[in-house]
Structure 1
Amino acid sequence: MLKGSLWWRKTKDLPRLVRLWIEVISKKWARQMFRAHEGLSKEYEVSCDELDFLVENAKKFPEVLGARMMGGGFGGCTINIVKKGFGQQLVDSISPVYKKEFNLELTPIFVKTDNGSELVY
């Protein structure tokens, strides 16, 4: 009876533990994005002032878990991992200072995660 009770409690905790594990791993992965940008900017020297500005300003918000440059060639952009519902607020906060610094308008593209790769018949 006792073993069955322990198994039941552990099984009930499993979804909570999986959610916690995903949250911890996601935060660590997102913070690594800041480090990756630093390397791209300072070591490889493939960033630009505008992208560095966006990443540095995004770091100021605790709702931004990570940010880095991506793309390039024709200007590139930054990808920002933000807490759900904070994207527009981030754009609204950074747009005026970006405009003042570079005399450029931000052009945000909002995306959401999906199921990822899957087989479609």
Structure 2
Amino acid sequence: MNFPPGPPPNMPPPPPDQGGKPPGQGGQVAAMALAGAMAFIVANAIAGFFMFMVVASVNDDTATKVLFGLTAVASAGAAFGGGWLLIRRKRPAPKGFGLGLMIGWSLVTVFTAGLCTAINPELYTGFFGMAR
């Protein structure tokens, strides 16, 4: 018996594709990662300016160290906590933006030796004479 080309008769269709991400979303993730890094850098610059203004007006060494500690925790928490929550959404735009927040924090920390993320408070006291 000769069957026509194609699937044999009375056979179920193949199952639909299970899992995996749709093709072509890598560019969107990369673009949003760049946007997230830039957003962190801008937000960190604004927050850093206000932090310098507050620390410059405080004459208490302990209060200054506490403010630097809170700034470091808030900066890392916003970048990594917010980034982690966005990555868990599994869609390309939030996932890329969350990665970008983390990448932005890392770049700012490395390129400023921790100065702009309050990871290295000794740089503040040594360079600017604050918290003597």
Q: If the length of structure 1 is used for normalisation, what is the TM-score?
A: 0.33
Flag the structure with more relative contact order, 1 or 2, with Cα contacts below 8 A and sequence separation at least 6: 2
Larger radius of gyration: 2
Q: If the length of structure 2 is used for normalisation, what is the TM-score?
A: 0.31
Q: Which has the higher strand share?
A: 1
